[in-house]
A and B are shown apart, each in its own frame.
Chain A
């Protein structure tokens, strides 16, 4: 077994510097690497390029890095829940590349899978297609999208083992397995870290080969963005 465990969050973040590109898993606030984001927001690193489906909310998740203006460019599909983000984007302080969600997911997957680019119908005829090669397949136009990789990928799993194998829970899986594949250094924070051999190999979502560092997060707030319930009858 190759041991991927790091002793603390400082070790987990070692090597990240200003001007780097990093990926952050999660959809909304579900499945975000809370501990890594909080630690990044305390570091003196700036001019970062961040690949993440969303941009957190004002005082939580990636909102923490935006407040300190650590991010120069966001690559996302939907950024609607964050007023500071909107302000920085409209004032031109923050560069934003908006990408269709399926293309974003596939670009991360492709980056990790050694596929430099692919054709997709999503975005054809829209401003997303500007400057991109168009090719027709089966009578339908497609646009060329390139793979995404990153210096660091920060992902969050429910359970992990010392070999870096990961299991996600519920819809907190989302972008995490794809970004885990696309990171040059993938840091996985987990709710529960167990010795290798304790997880059923049949149940592994992310094989440990994609993970360079794993640690158990100190605490998880797991905020809910839209609490919707129904009445008991």
Chain B
């Protein structure tokens, strides 16, 4: 069965490493914070200027001066720090933030990502996405494998304006876990009960398939 958005987040949470700083994008990536494995300490960075972001506030405790990059009201954890936007992107550009998780409209087999613009339709801006993908050491993409029309979003080449070149490392979709390699997308895992054939059918890019592909463990 294909994963839902929460299960995609749950699978990505398995990639989190102890004592690291992580930036989560808007949408499915935000849900990753709900599934941090036991014994793993993570500090979440939000690019509008907070390190050590905590959960949403209790009702009545919302503070207009305390939001995340999605403009949602948040809280801070003990040990949090606040800073200006230039310092925030110094953390990102300077590779002090170890992992970036973000959504995408399209990814391609050489590691390109497109997630900021649909010409003539959606022109809202890139926000911090271009800075994040240009600099992060490790970038994991959280996305659905196909669009609403059923077309693959895992492509040989992006068709939409790109956000960054040759930058993403891994893609977790509702169907599969893929790793970007020189040979193409290497199929690492498949969603429970989803067959390799189904994944091939939903993928336009070149897939590298070696041996038996294990099911994701959630």
Contact = CB atoms under 8 A, between A and B. Distances in A.
A128 interface: yes
Interface string B92-132: 11000000000000000000100000000001111111110
Given A170-B65, A175-B85, A229-B62, A102 B128 contact: yes
B86 A173 contact: no
B84 A178 contact: yes
A28 B71 contact: yes
Interface in A58-103: 76-81, 86, 89-90, 96, 98, 100-103
A79 B82 CA distance: 24
A174 B58 contact: no
Interface in B158-194: 161-166
A30 B134 contact: no
Interface in A22-70: 27-31, 53
A198 interface: no
A177 interface: yes
B193 to A, nearest CB: 33
A96 B134 CA distance: 23
B66 interface: yes
Contact of A170 (B63, B126, B129, B164): B63
A39 to B, nearest CB: 21
Interface in A134-178: 158, 169-178
B131 A178 contact: no
A81 B63 CA distance: 20
B164 to A, nearest CB: 7
Contacts of B89: 101-102, 105-106
Contact of A105 (B58, B69, B85, B166): B85
Interface string B20-56: 0000000000000000000000000011111000011
A86 to B, nearest CB: 8
Given A103-B131, A121-B134, A173 B125 contact: no
A98 B161 CA distance: 13
A232 B58 contact: yes
A125 interface: yes
Interface in B56-74: 56-59, 61-74
A123 interface: yes
Given A78-B124, A80-B124, A175-B85, A30 B56 contact: no
A123 B134 contact: yes
B130 A100 contact: yes
Interface of B: 46-50, 55-59, 61-74, 82-86, 88-89, 92-93, 112, 123-131, 134-135, 161-166
Interface of A: 27-31, 53, 76-81, 86, 89-90, 96, 98, 100-106, 108-109, 120-128, 158, 169-178, 205, 222-232
Q: Which 3 A-B pairs have the closest CB atoms?
A: A102-B89, A102-B131, A80-B124
27 contacts: A27-B67, A27-B69, A27-B71, A76-B125, A79-B124, A81-B71, A89-B123, A100-B128, A101-B85, A101-B89, A102-B89, A102-B128, A105-B85, A105-B88, A109-B86, A125-B165, A127-B161, A170-B63, A171-B46, A173-B83, A175-B84, A178-B84, A178-B85, A222-B65, A228-B72, A229-B56, A230-B57
